[in-house]
């Protein structure tokens, strides 16, 4: 029996900012903080995905801040999901479109179904639904925008909060000087290898917009489930000046706290690998959430990052990539 043609969309990569689609699917007019990393991420993802898209928005900053009050900045279809079930609601939407297409009730291009979940809604309270979605093979892109906390409720720790970060649930104190004592989960690694239907997982950052847009378009061109992990710095939660959002994103990559890579059906490819890594202190000193740390804590963080870097060096296939957002030149 010939497989049914659902009219899945495919996307070409872009080579420059000029080549990015000009239309905004995430328009001005939302209550996110000035300089909000996740908001910039949403905008770039919307640009990459285009009009035939349905966003699923689990509760979080990218729900509450975006949709206050009774109005949203989404120029495409969007639905609120619980923080617990982004993956499941998206599964239902995708299943509905599949059966409606087969029954002749819908004949347009198969919509991009994209879950925009925070780190909590992806690998903490939302983990079950994420895994179910990945397992069942729905054609859905699950995006974890990582601001490394439960930001919307006032910055509480989540499983991706880095070691040593101060949050309102991991405040530094006399007995617990470092604040957060646990090391974070690695979201892409939770998905890779354990879910046979998944053929593409990648990480990216708002500091590398072309990398981000191209990876989103690549993920959307897959006929099955895909997962992306985005670094989206949060000025309020990480305590830095809001104009530094993109710079912090770049420093994360320069220090090895974040690595940009793709995993495609068993093959890892790395983008923008630093030739020489900067010490993690340079990244952490710009952020108030690390201001309480002593030398020994920073050393622990460095050791954790060094482990990651060693693994990358052992396995990496670095690739040429479009240059990142231009670095601020020194004042004359």
Partner 1 sequence: MSKKLPGYGTIRVPQEREVPFGAITPAPVRQQDLFVTSNWRMVRPVIDQETCTRCLTCYIVCPDACWSYNEEEDQMEWNWKFCKGCQICIHQCPVECLSPIPELDFEDGVQRLEKPF
Partner 2 sequence: MPQERNLTGCSAAAQGAKLAEVEVICSFPIRPYTAIMMELAKMVADGDLEAEFVHGEGEHAQLSVVLGASAAGARAFTGSSGVGVTYAFELYSPIAGGRYPVQMSIADRTLDPPGDFGSEHTDALSFRDQGWLMGWACSPQEVFDNTLMGFRIGEDPRVMLPQAICQDGYFLSHIPDKVILADLAQVREFLPPYKAPHPLSPTCPVSHGPQIRPDQGAPMDAQRAATFLNLPQVIREATEDFNRIFGRNYDPFLEKHRLEDAEIAFFIMGAHANTCRKAVDALRKSGVKAGMARLRWVRPWPTHEIAEALAHVKAVGSVETSTSYGGAMRGGNLIHELRASLYDLDERPVVTSFMAGLGGETIWPEDFHYMAKVLTQMAKDKRADKYVRWLGFEAD
Residue 131 contact, options partner 2, partner 1, none, Cβ 5-8 Å cut-off depending on partner type: partner 2
Given partner 1, partner 2, none, residue 136, with its beta carbon under 5 to 8 Å by kind, binds partner 2
Count the Cβ atoms, other than its own, within 10 Å of residue 328.
9
Among the residue ranges 126-134, 159-167, 255-263, 283-291, the one whose residues contact partner 2 (CB under 8 A): 126-134
Pairwise CA distance, residues 171 & 180, whole Å: 7
Task: Quote the tokens at residue 67.
Answer: 């949709």
331 binds, among partner 2, partner 1, none (CB under 5 to 8 A by kind): partner 1
Judged by CB under 8 A, which of 8, 13, 20, 77 binds partner 2?
77
**Alpha-helical runs (H) found in the chain:** 37-49, 61-67, 86-102, 119-123, 127-136, 187-191, 209-220, 235-238, 245-255, 280-284, 295-315
Quick count: other Cβ atoms within 10 Å of Cβ 118?
Answer: 33
Instruction: Give the interface size with partner 2 as a residue count (CB under 8 A).
Output: 50
Residue 185: other Cβ atoms inside 10 A: 16
Nearest CB to partner 2, comparing residues 104 and 266: 104
Q: Are 45 and 56 in contact (CB under 8 A)?
A: no
Question: Residue 199 in contact with residue 223, Cβ under 8 Å?
Answer: no
Select the residue interacting with partner 1 from 10, 15, 34, 315 (CB under 8 A).
Answer: 34
Q: Report the partner that residue 85 touches, choosing among partner 1, partner 2, none (CB closer than 5 to 8 A by kind).
A: partner 2
Q: Which of residues 91-120 bind partner 2 (CB under 8 A)?
A: 91-100, 102-103, 105-106, 108-109, 111
Site map for partner 2, 33-72, x if CB under 8 A?
------------------xxxx-x------xx--xxxxxx
66, 55 in Cβ contact below 8 A?
no
109 binds, among partner 1, partner 2, none (CB under 5 to 8 A by kind): partner 2
What is the sign, positive or negative, of the torsion defined by CA atoms of 166, 170, 174, 177?
negative
CB 24, min distance to partner 1, A: 5
Cβ atoms < 10 Å from Cβ of 269 = 15
Number of amino acids touching partner 1 (CB under 8 A): 46
- Contacts (CB under 8 A) with partner 1, residues 286-325: 325
Q: Which two tokens stand for residue 168?
A: 């309102």
- At a CB cut-off of 8 Å and minimum separation 6, what does 142 contact? 86, 87, 90, 114, 115, 117, 122, 130, 133, 134, 225, 226, 227, 228
Q: What are phi and psi of 172, to 5 degrees?
A: -70, 145
82: contact with partner 2 by CB under 8 A: yes
The nearer residue to partner 2, 80 or 300, going by C-beta atoms, is 80
Question: Binding to partner 1 (CB under 8 A): which residues in 205-264?
Answer: 206, 209, 242-247
Of 32, 149, 255, 302, the one binding partner 1 by CB under 8 A: 32
From 30, 215, 229, 236, residue interacting with partner 1 (rule: CB under 8 A): 30
Interface contacts to partner 1, rule CB under 8 A: 16-18, 20, 22, 24, 26-32, 34-37, 39-40, 43-44, 68-78, 206, 209, 242-247, 325-329, 331
């Amino acid at each position: 029996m010939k497989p049914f043609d659902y009219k899945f969309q495919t996307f070409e990569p872009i080579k420059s900012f000029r080549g990015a689609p000009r239309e905004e699917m995430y328009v001005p007019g939302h209550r996110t903080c000035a300089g909000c990393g996740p908001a910039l991420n949403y905008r770039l993802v919307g640009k990459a995905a285009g009009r035939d898209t349905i966003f699923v928005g689990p509760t979080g900053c990218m729900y509450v801040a975006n949709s206050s009050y009774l109005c949203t900045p989404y120029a495409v279809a969007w639905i609120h999901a619980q923080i617990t079930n982004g993956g499941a609601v998206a599964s239902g939407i995708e299943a509905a479109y599949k059966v409606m297409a087969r029954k002749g009730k819908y004949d347009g291009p198969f919509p991009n179904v994209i879950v925009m979940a925070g780190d909590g809604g992806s690998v903490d309270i939302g983990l079950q639904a994420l895994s179910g979605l990945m397992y069942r093979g729905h054609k859905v892109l699950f995006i974890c925008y990582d601001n490394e906390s439960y930001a919307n409720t006032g910055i509480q720790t989540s499983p991706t909060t880095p070691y040593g970060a101060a949050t309102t649930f991991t405040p530094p104190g006399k007995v617990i000087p470092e604040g957060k004592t646990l090391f974070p989960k690695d979201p892409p690694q939770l998905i890779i290898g354990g879910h046979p239907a998944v053929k593409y997982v990648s990480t990216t950052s708002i500091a590398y917009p072309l990398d981000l847009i191209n990876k989103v378009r690549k993920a959307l061109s897959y006929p099955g489930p895909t997962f992306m992990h985005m670094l989206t710095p949060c000025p309020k939660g990480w305590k830095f000046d809001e104009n530094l959002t993109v710079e912090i994103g770049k420093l994360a990559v320069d220090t090895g706290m974040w690595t940009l890579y793709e995993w495609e059906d068993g093959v890892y490819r790395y983008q923008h690998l630093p030739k020489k890594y900067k010490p993690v202190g340079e990244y952490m000193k710009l952020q108030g959430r690390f201001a309480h740390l002593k030398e020994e804590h920073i050393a622990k963080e460095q050791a954790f990052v060094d482990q990651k870097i060693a693994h990358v060096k052992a396995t990496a296939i670095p690739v040429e990539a479009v240059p990142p957002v231009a670095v601020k030149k020194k004042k004359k």
